[in-house]
Amino acid sequence: MVAAILPLVLDEIVLRRQGRRILGPVSLNVEAGGITILMGPNGSGKTSLLRAMHGLERLSAGSLHWRVPEIETRARQAFVFQSPIVLRRSVVDNIAYPLILDGMSRKAARALAAARAEEVGLGELLGRPAQVISGGEKQKLALARALMREPEVLFLDEPCANLDPRAMRDIETILRKAADAGTKIVMSTHDSGQARRLAQDILFLCDGRVIEAAPSDAFFALPKTPEARAHINGDLLP
Ligand SMILES: Nc1ncnc2c1ncn2[C@@H]1O[C@H](COP(=O)(O)OP(=O)(O)OP(=O)(O)O)[C@@H](O)[C@H]1O
């Protein structure tokens, strides 16, 4: 059996950009199982932390270790960006793309992609050029494509930003299903309601640091910091 890539251990990681510390020091363990949600005000470092975990950021200090060598993790973790990237091809071919890259025949990959598209509510749009579908549909497409390789870890940056309630519910259902099937989900959201519905664990960031890390129930019942309390209550801070 292939060794699991988790846990991911972050040891005092720091990101500095243009002479400024934008993240860290952050130390934490990302364990297998469930949904971990990053919360925090604008500019608190959620995107930077997700990108660093996925290996997209050069660390200024500290280190980050997967359970296996990093190169072996590449095809086993995926990232869905806040502004979804779509390829200049049809919806079904976008979703099939990772499998075709892995060497699967176009026909077999398309069949699996069509089934996945159906699941995320894109079944009617299979042949449509991906560039012309709506923003919410692009978010679903990016999620469907990211799940094609059944990653062990899926990072998502605000996957429901700008979605209507129905599309949000569809995406939450897909995320729960993926988590139940064994994919670790690590995602950011501004939406406390969504965090309550989905998260097992919360990481609350403020000014580039994780100032609370707690099981979701405990975090929402009794946030320990004034910043988290204000964020949950929607208070406007001075
Ligand atoms: N490449 C960069 N160069 C300089 N500053 C950066 C860079 N990337 C991010 N920052 C800054 O780092 C801080 C954290 O940004 P980040 O996007 O991680 O926050 P966030 O919590 O995801 O914010 P939001 O909720 O608004 O999406 C911000 O002040 C941002 O302007």
The closest residue, in CA terms, to atom 2 on ligand 1 is 17
Which of 23, 37, 46 should be mutated for ligand 1, with most atoms under 8 A from CB?
46
Candidate of 47, 189, 194, 231 to mutate for ligand 1, largest count of ligand atoms within 8 Å of Cβ: 47
**What is the pLDDT confidence band of residue 105, given thresholds at 50, 70 and 90?**
very high
The per-residue pLDDT for 81 is: 93
Q: Is the peptide bond before 215 cis (omega within 30 degrees of 0)?
A: no
Ligand 1 neighbours by CB, cut-off 6 Å: 17-18, 22, 40, 42-48
Asked whether the predicted pLDDT for residue 144 surpasses 90, the reply is yes
**Residue 136 confidence (pLDDT):** 87
Could you report how far apart the first and last alpha carbons of the chain are, in Å?
A: 54
Structural contact between residues 97 and 128, judged by C-beta atoms closer than 8 angstroms: no
Nearest CA residue ID for atom 3, ligand 1 = 17
pLDDT given at position 237: 59
> What domains appear along the chain, each with residue ranges and CATH number?
8-84+152-233 (3.40.50.300)
pTM of the model: 0.94
Is a pLDDT exceeding 90 seen at residue 186?
Answer: yes
pLDDT of residue 153: 97
Ligand 1 centre distance from Cα of residue 22 (Å): 7
Q: What is the pLDDT of residue 3?
A: 76
Beta strand 35-39 with 201-206: parallel, antiparallel or unpaired?
parallel
Q: Residue 162: pLDDT above 80?
A: no
Average pLDDT, integer, range 9-25: 97
The reported pLDDT for the residue numbered 163 is: 85
For residue 45, pLDDT over 80 is answered with yes
Identify the band that residue 114 occupies on the pLDDT scale cut at 50, 70 and 90: very high
By most ligand atoms within 8 Å of CB, the mutation choice from 13, 17, 22, 54 for ligand 1 is: 22
92 Cα to the center of ligand 1, angstroms: 33
CA of 207 to the centre of ligand 1 (A): 10
pLDDT score, position 103: 95
Q: Which atom number of ligand 1 is nearest to the Cα of residue 82?
A: 27
The pLDDT of residue 88 is 95
State percent of the chain over pLDDT 90.
Answer: 85
Q: What is the pLDDT of residues 122-133, one digit of tens each?
A: 999 999 999 999
Asked if the model's pLDDT at residue 236 lies above 80, the reply is no
Percentage of the chain surpassing pLDDT 70?
97
* Two structure tokens written together for 217: 């129930």
Indicate the burial class of 23 (C-beta count within 10 angstroms; 0-12, 13-18, 19 or more). buried
Q: How far apart are CA 165 and CA 103, in angstroms?
A: 37
Q: Say yes or no to pLDDT of 65 above 60.
A: yes
ipTM (interface predicted TM): 0.97
**125 Cα to the center of ligand 1, angstroms:** 34
